[in-house]
Each structure stands twice: as C-alpha cells, then as structure tokens.
Amino acid sequence: MKNIVLLVILIFTQYSFAQTFFSFEGKEVAAGTKAHFKIPVEHEGVSTFIPVTIFNGATAGETLGITAGIHGYEYPPILGAQRLIQSINPKELTGTVILVQLANVKSFLGRSPYVNPADGKNLNRSFPGKEEGSISEQIAYFISNDIISRVDYFLDMHAGDAPEDLMHYGAYYNNATMPEISATGKEMALALGFNHIVTFNTEGKDYMKAEKPSLYTSAEAFKRGIPAIDIECGRLGIPEAEAVDQVEQAVLRLLQKLNFTSKLKVLSTTPAILIKNRIYTDSTVYGIFYPLKKAGDYVVTGMKLGYTTDFFGNIQETIYAKADGLLLLILGTPPVNKGETVAVIGLIRN
C-alpha cells in the first residue's frame, strides 16, 4: 500500500510540473521547443512586421517578456536578442520566454534614430498604443495586449541612440505604493550584472495615473503590476561586440535569478552602485555641441561639460554640471536643437 501511495504521489508530481503547449497567435508551441512568428502590422498602405520568438520550456513555470529594438538604431540589444535565439535552450528551460527581437523594424531598416519613419512617432512614447492607430501605435498595442498582458516579469532593452554617449547600466521601476513589485524589480536589475543600477522613481509621474497613457514600454508593464526592468547598454548607435556580449550575458543571468534555468554557465554578479535620482540638462539653443566629458565620468557641481556654438564658431551656451555625480549620458555628436537633453547626471547618494 505504501508503495502505491508513493507511486501516485510521484505521478501527480510529474504531471503537475509537466509543461503544456503555449498558445500564441493561433499556434501551439510544444513544451521544450521554440517557434518564430512574424506579426504583420499595416496602416494606410504601409506595412511592417514584428519578429517574435517563443521559448516554451520543458517544465512548467512563469513567463518572462523581453523586448529589444523599440528604437531601431540601438543596435547592441537587437544583436544580443539575435544571440538569445540560440543561447536560450527550451529543453533546459522552466516556464516560457517571449522574445521580441526587434520591435521597430521600420526604424531599424531605415537607420532612423528615435522615431519610426513610417509615422514619425517615437515607439517608446506610444504605449499602450491603439488597435486601429498608426504603425507605432499598433506595435505598442500588440506588445501591451498580446505580450505584456501574459507575462509575470518584463525586460525592455535599450542602448545609446545615434547621438547619445551613454553609460551601461540596468534599471528598475519603483513606487512606494507597490513595494513587493518594486522589490522584485530591484532584485531582477541587480541580477543583470551591471556595475550601476538606476532607480526609475515613478511617484507623481503622470504616466502612472490610470487615465493617462503609460508612454514607455516597461512603464506599461509596471502599471499592470508586473516587475519591470530596463537595460541600457551601448552608445552612439555603435554595434560594439562588448556591449552585445554584455546584453546576452545579462539576460542569461536574469533567467538564472528567476529560476527559469540553472544550466547556463555565466559569471557571478558583482555588487552594484545604486543611482536613486537623475538630473537632466537641456539645451536652450540650437547649433554645434562640443562635449568636454564622456559618459561614465564622475563630475562635480559647476564642472564644464561642454559648450554649443553657432554656425560661425561663436559660443552660445556653456553646459555645467548641476550636481555631483556620475555622467550617465552626454550628447556625443555635434548637432543640437533647443530643448534637447545634452547631459544626464546620476546621483549616487541616499
């Protein structure tokens, strides 16, 4: 009798943890397999698609959503996502990973920084999107309702766009009214393996209000009560191999942290410096910008960061550090317009 009970328990346990198929876009992805999808998007005669890969693990578990290429000129995350197609093995996976390798194909193929050339919109200001909207709005709607709505954790991957000299870091969304979700996001961000982690404080932000659009990809997830993190890895639209490697390894570390896999061999994480606030400096003129510092430099209040001239070489504006901290971003190319962000300083203090 005892042996029969043990056998029943064993069978029940195996059945309970066995993965079933994952249904996506009308197709059943079997346990322990992956499947590729090209999601068509069309508006007023202009068409594109969203490449998505589903990794359905051999063992039942939670779901992680990952997006890359929200901005099509941010290459390291896009190339890192291409590597993940091979480095995530569904046979050794617990749960399901939904990977959007390149959300903004039109921006990518058009070599267009910031905006989708099909409609002139910034996809990372278009969430939650519109089902019958423009190309960018439809892409945002699909990601919001067909991917984010189905996941337990969410990661959005970015880099410094064409003019942005950007320091590598991880980030997480935080709100005092959502302590458990925020704490999980922090642990996820720390697991990425970056030396610096930025806190996206959302208290008082319009995009957190129910009646307001979320605007940002990962903000849409966070508003839905999903732990949400970002990667910023890469600079100036350059597909540097080191940044691509770091993106891939960061995701593999995250999979281990969330117990999606224990079979991947990645480096152990090191203690990270937390950046709790950021100070932005915008240009008040247009012209030619000359940076005097680079991303990753430590700066002190009043330090000269760069200057802008008119088209005859006359200095129109000098940019000074507004606080002591770490230069997360500085404009790295000459053109500058009035109102554009030219520098972001991260505050390393309590």
Question: Is the predicted pLDDT of residue 227 greater than 70, yes or no?
Answer: yes
Cα–Cα dist 300/28, whole Å: 56
Question: Is the predicted pLDDT of residue 266 greater than 60, yes or no?
Answer: no
Quote the pLDDT of residue 262.
78
Spatial contact of 159 and 236, defined as CB atoms under 8 Å apart: no
Question: Is the predicted pLDDT of residue 152 greater than 60, yes or no?
Answer: yes
In this prediction, residues 48-53 reach a mean pLDDT of 98
Cis bond before residue 227 (omega within 30° of 0): no
* Residue of 269 and 334 predicted with greater confidence: 334
Question: Is the predicted pLDDT of residue 265 greater than 80, yes or no?
Answer: no
Q: Rounded mean pLDDT of the chain?
A: 93
Quote the pLDDT of residue 187.
97
Quote the pLDDT of residue 2.
46
Residues 262-292: b if buried by 16+ CB within 10 A, e if exposed = eebebeeeeebebbeebbebebeebbebebe
By percentage, how much of the chain surpasses pLDDT 70? 92
Q: Give tens-digit pLDDT for 60-87.
A: 999 999 999 999 999 999 999 999 999 9
Spatial contact of 295 and 307, defined as CB atoms under 8 Å apart: no
Report the predicted TM-score, pTM, of the whole model to 2 decimal places.
0.92
Unique residue bearing structure tokens 């991917």: 147
In this prediction, residues 330-343 reach a mean pLDDT of 98
Cα dihedral across residues 75, 81, 84, 86: positive or negative: negative
